[in-house]
Amino acid sequence: MNILDKIVLRKQQEVADAKALVSVKDLEQSIHFRRTPYSFKEFLLDKDRTGIIAEFKRRSPSKGLINGTADVAEVTKAYNHAGASALSVLTDLDFFGGQREDILAARVANNIPILRKDFMIDEYQILEAKAWGADIILLIASILSPKEIVDMGKLGKSLGLNVLLEVHNLEELERSICPHLDAIGVNNRNLADFTVNIQTSYDLVDKIPNEFMKVSESAISNSTTIKQLRLAGFDGFLIGENFMKTDNPGIAIKEFVSEID
């Protein structure tokens, strides 16, 4: 079994446990459930921001522990002030060391869009995302059928959430694309075996219809790459480890941003 299969299997159990503990009604009664999510597009295309979607990630299956001490409110505020267009906060506990409380803390500290970064396999998780104060959900093409992507995309949109579809190759893109999406992310990392290749982004950018915002995800570690990805047609750049692996991710993003503009 590859790592992605393991994550999905564990996720099924986690969602079943969560459903037994917190009802849909409870989720709908959260104060965040009534708020109108921020527009991902508005922030991503804002020329005063950088297009960076800055990620808070404590660990990953490929790298193990990345940062065991960083404070989520402090780091996400620094990301925001450095010009991030959106924040990405991992909520998977077993493989990425994230939790619901991380989104809640990032939400109260920031007024820019937040992506709930997790492996969404059930509509219940989309209701959770809304209840926790997220603005954007991630749908990963490699673990969802085209019908699941349509259904989950529709539900997300009906709640006012922004929907980011993640693909890793042309086949995934072609089978998964549908109208209920705002943005398409090309993951430069193959989630099944962790190999990374930025070329994946350049290969797919022109295959993504221009009505969708285009995001390049993973393994971005220098400002030259951002400039090249921008020229190729990308609007957004999802960066985690490059900032989180340092002692002070807030300073790391500031230095990074000073090199792009």
**Which positions touch ligand IGP (CB under 6 A)?**
55, 57, 117, 140, 166, 187, 217-220, 238-242
Closest distance to ligand IGP from the beta carbon of 200 (Å): 12
Distance CA 143, CA 140 (A): 6
Q: Decide if 74 is catalytic.
A: no
Closest distance to ligand IGP from the beta carbon of 29 (Å): 29
Q: Which residues pair with 165 in a beta bridge?
A: 139, 184
Catalytic residue among 162, 176, 218, 242: 218
Catalytic residue among 88, 187, 188, 216: 187
Q: Decide if 166 is catalytic.
A: yes
Catalytic residue among 14, 85, 117, 201: 117
Nearer to ligand IGP, 177 or 219 (CB): 219
Q: Decide if 172 is catalytic.
A: no
Q: Decide if 111 is catalytic.
A: no
Closest distance to ligand IGP from the beta carbon of 188 (Å): 8
Closest distance to ligand IGP from the beta carbon of 31 (Å): 27
Catalytic residue among 14, 55, 128, 172: 55
Nearer to ligand IGP, 33 or 93 (CB): 93
Sort 115 into a burial class: Cβ within 10 Å, 0-12 / 13-18 / 19+: buried
Nearer to ligand IGP, 135 or 166 (CB): 166
Sort 154 into a burial class: Cβ within 10 Å, 0-12 / 13-18 / 19+: middle
Nearer to ligand IGP, 133 or 240 (CB): 240
Give the residue at shortest CB distance from ligand IGP.
Answer: 240
Torsion, Cα of 206, 210, 213, 217 (10° steps): -10
Closest distance to ligand IGP from the beta carbon of 121 (Å): 12
Q: Decide if 28 is catalytic.
A: no
Q: Decide if 117 is catalytic.
A: yes
Q: Decide if 55 is catalytic.
A: yes
Nearer to ligand IGP, 33 or 95 (CB): 95
Catalytic residue among 166, 201, 216, 242: 166
Residues labelled catalytic: 55, 57, 117, 166, 187, 217-218
